[in-house]
Each structure stands twice: as structure tokens, then as C-alpha cells.
């Protein structure tokens, strides 16, 4: 079976990230930085999952971040215009 790869218009990388790669990216981004407790992380991810700014199920349209990585970091905030959906 051939899997169709969506491509971001602005780059050549696939917009899809495997769960393994996502875990690795979270681990790398979290090095030496405070992370949020799991319950806060889940609340943030739920807000992202219901947000019109979420693209491809992974990426915030306002900052270009992978939300699973951004939401994990204590000092992150939500860049939703005028009214952040989490902080
Ligand atoms: S604007 Fe905020 S809630 Fe929406 S996808 Fe981006 S980080 Fe998540």
C-alpha cells in the first residue's frame, strides 16, 4: 500500500511525524528545561486538539511548533491571537 505524503508548502519535510520521532523531539526539547505534570500536559493537548489553529493534527499555525513538544515545556504559552487557550 502506498501512503500519500502531504507536504508543507513552505518546506520539503513531510508534515507528518511518527510517534517515535515525536517522543525523541520531546526528549530533546525537554533537556535542561522544566516540563509540566502529565495532567497539565493533557489539558494543554486537549485545548490544542480542539483549536482551529491546529494543522495536520500536530502543528500550531501561529508558531509553527509541534504542539506535543510546545505543550510539554513549563515556560511555553499558547500563541492563539488575543486569547491564549492555555498557559
Ligand atoms: S494556538 Fe494554542 S491551542 Fe491552538 S494549536 Fe496553537 S498552541 Fe495549541
Q: List pLDDT tens digits, range 54-75.
A: 999 999 999 999 999 999 999 9
Return the best residue to mutate from 60, 81, 83 for the ligand 1 pocket (most ligand atoms within 8 A of CB): 60
Indicate which atom in ligand 1 lies nearest the CA of residue 59.
Answer: 5
Q: Please tell me the distance from the alpha carbon of residue 48 to that of residue 63, in angstroms, as a whole number.
A: 13
Q: Which residue has the cell 494543522?
A: 55
The candidate with the shortest Cα–Cα distance to 47, out of 77, 11, 10, 6, is 77
Question: Is any ligand 1 atom within 6 A of the Cβ of residue 41?
Answer: no
Please report the beta strands in 2-66, taking only residues with DSSP state E, as ranges in sequence order: 54-55, 59-60
Contacts of 87 (CB under 8 A, 6+ apart): 77, 78
Q: What is the pTM of this model?
A: 0.82
Per-residue pLDDT of 14-68, as tens digits, reads 667 889 999 999 999 999 999 999 999 999 999 999 999 999 999 999 999 999 9
Amino acid at each position: 500500500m502506498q501512503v500519500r505524503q502531504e507536504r508543507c508548502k513552505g518546506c520539503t519535510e513531510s508534515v507528518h511525524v511518527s510517534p517515535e520521532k515525536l517522543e525523541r523531539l520531546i526528549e530533546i526539547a525537554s533537556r535542561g528545561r522544566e516540563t509540566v505534570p502529565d495532567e497539565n500536559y493533557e489539558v494543554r493537548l486537549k485545548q490544542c486538539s480542539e483549536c482551529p489553529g491546529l494543522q495536520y493534527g500536530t502543528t500550531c499555525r501561529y508558531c509553527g511548533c509541534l504542539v506535543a513538544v510546545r505543550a510539554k515545556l513549563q515556560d511555553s504559552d499558547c500563541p492563539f491571537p488575543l486569547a491564549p487557550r492555555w498557559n
